Amino acid sequence: MKPPGLPPQLVSLARSIFEDCTQCRACQVRCAFLREHGTPKDLAGQLLGGSTGIARAFECSLCGLCHATCPMSFPLPEFFLAMRRAALENQVASLAPYRSLLNYEAVGASALFRLVALPPGGDTVLFPGCTFPGAHPRTALALYRHLRGADPAIGLVLGCCFKPSHDLGRRNFFESRFGTLRATLLARGVRTVITACPNCFKVFNLYGDGLAVRSVLAVLEETPLQGRTPVRGAAIMHTPCPLRFEKEEREIALRLACESGLEVERTRQGGTLAPCCGEGGTVGALRPDYADAWTKDVEKSAKGRVIIAVCAGCVKFISRRTPVVHLLDLIFFPQAALDGTLPKPKGIAAYVHRLRLKWRVWLENRPRPTRG
Ligand code: SF4
Ligand code: SF4
C-alpha cells in the first residue's frame, strides 16, 4: 500500500531500501544523523508504515557519505532529498529556519547582481557562483583576467544556480528558476559553462541540458599560470560533497595543489570518504550539533596541516574552527593565501565586492560607440 501524500518515486526508493538493506550499519558508523534516527531500513520502514517523520530529512546534510560506504550502493541522498520534497509538499516542514539563506539566494539571482557578459563570437562563460566572488574578490578578478588572457572570447555570467532551493526540496521553484537561467544562457549563445564552485558544477551537470560544463580547475590545468613562486609546508585536501564521486575532478585538484610546492597527502578526507564540512544541506539551521561535529571531523583529520578546499562554502564553514585555504587563492596568490593576508570580505562587504566585479566586467564588455 502507498502511504497517502507520498510521491511514487519516494515510495519506490523506500521499498527497495526496506527490502534489500542488510542492516550492516556501515553507513551509521560515520553519520551522526543515522546513529540518532536509525538505519535507512528503519527509516524506510517507518515511511512505508505511514509515519509522519519525513521532516527529519532536513537533519541530513545530503553529503553522500552513506552512499559511498553502502555495499548495496543505495542512493541515500536522493532518498532523503525526496523526503524533504515530500515534507514541503505535505506541509509538515517549514522553510522559516532557512530565511536568511533563501534571501541570500534571492539577492544573488536579482537583476542588481546578475550579469551575462559574452564577447562577440564567444560561447563559453565563467560562472563563479554566489559565495566565491564576494568572499575571494582578488582571486575572482585574477581568475577572470587569466581566463580572458588565454581566450579573449570567454565571458562571465554572474548569478545563482539555485542549489540552496534545490537541496531544501523546493522542486518547482528550483526547476522554474534554474530553467530560466539555462534558457537565458542558451538564447544568448552560451554553450559551455566553466564553474568555480563545485555546487554549481553539480547543478549544471545534472540540469544544464544543452550546456557543456567544465570545472575551472580543469581549465586551469590546461592554461597554467606562469612564474608561480613555490610555497612550502604540509597540507591535505578537503573534498566537497558535490565532488565525492567525481574522481577526475578530485585528481585535478590534488595535482594543482601539489604544483604549489606544498606536500599534499592523500587522506580519506580527500577522497570518497570525506566528511561533510558541516554546511551541507543547511543542517546547521536545525542541528548545529551535527554541523559542528562534522566540522570537528575535518579539523581532526588535518592534524595541524594546512587544509585546502575547492569550495568557497566549505572554506567559510571550516574557517570558523580552523585555518583553511581555497585552492584558487593558493594558485593565484600562494604566499598571501597561506599567510591569511588576502582580504576575505563578509556580510555587506562581500555583496559590495560582487557588485564591483560586475561593474568592472560590464565596463570591459560594454559595446563601444563606433566613430565616423
Ligand atoms: S547523506 Fe550524509 S548526513 Fe545524510 S544520511 Fe548520508 S551520511 Fe548521513
Ligand atoms: S550501509 Fe547500506 S546496507 Fe548497510 S545499513 Fe546502511 S543502507 Fe543498509
Check whether 2 has a pLDDT greater than 60: no
Closest approach atom of ligand 1 to CA 33: 8
Cell numbers found for residue 261: 610546492
Distance, in Å, from the CA atom of 329 to the CA atom of 32, rounded to the nearest integer, reads 32
Q: Is 271 exposed, middle or buried (0-12, 13-18, 19+ CB in 10 A)?
A: middle
Which ligand lies nearest the alpha carbon of 31? 1
Mean pLDDT of 72-83: 97
pTM: 0.94
DSSP code of residue 290: H
pLDDT in tens, 146-190: 999 999 999 999 999 999 999 999 999 999 999 999 999 999 999
DSSP code of residue 250: H
pLDDT in tens, 306-325: 999 999 999 999 998 899 99
State the fold for domain 234-339: Rossmann fold (3.40.50)
Provide the pLDDT for residue 302.
87
266: confidence class by pLDDT, cuts 50, 70, 90: confident
- Mutate which of 36, 43, 65 for ligand 1 pocket (most atoms within 8 A of beta carbon): 65
CATH value of 100-222+345-365 in 1.20.120, 3.30.70, 3.30.300, 3.40.50: 3.40.50
Q: How many angstroms is it from 193 CA to the middle of ligand 1?
A: 29
* pLDDT > 70 in the chain, percent: 97
Mean pLDDT of 234-250: 94
Residue recorded with cell 510521491? 7
Q: Is 304 left (phi over 0), alpha (psi -120 to 50) or beta?
A: left
**Which region among 80-89, 132-141, 252-261, 297-306 has the lowest average model confidence (pLDDT)?**
297-306
Protein residue closest via CA to atom 3 of ligand 2:
21
pLDDT in tens, 86-139: 999 999 999 999 999 999 999 999 999 999 999 999 999 999 999 999 999 999
Q: How many angstroms is it from 149 CA to the middle of ligand 2?
A: 49
Check whether 7 has a pLDDT greater than 60: yes
Q: Answer yes or no: are the C-beta atoms of 257 and 330 closer than 8 Å.
A: yes
228: confidence class by pLDDT, cuts 50, 70, 90: confident
Check whether 4 has a pLDDT greater than 70: no
DSSP code string of 9-43: HHHHHHHHHHHH-----HHHHT-HHHHHH--HHHH
DSSP code of residue 230: P
Protein residue closest via CA to atom 4 of ligand 1:
60
Provide the pLDDT for residue 1.
43
**For the chain, what are the domain ranges?**
8-89, 100-222+345-365, 234-339
Question: CB of 277 closer than 6 A to ligand 1?
Answer: no
Same-fold call for 100-222+345-365 versus 234-339: yes
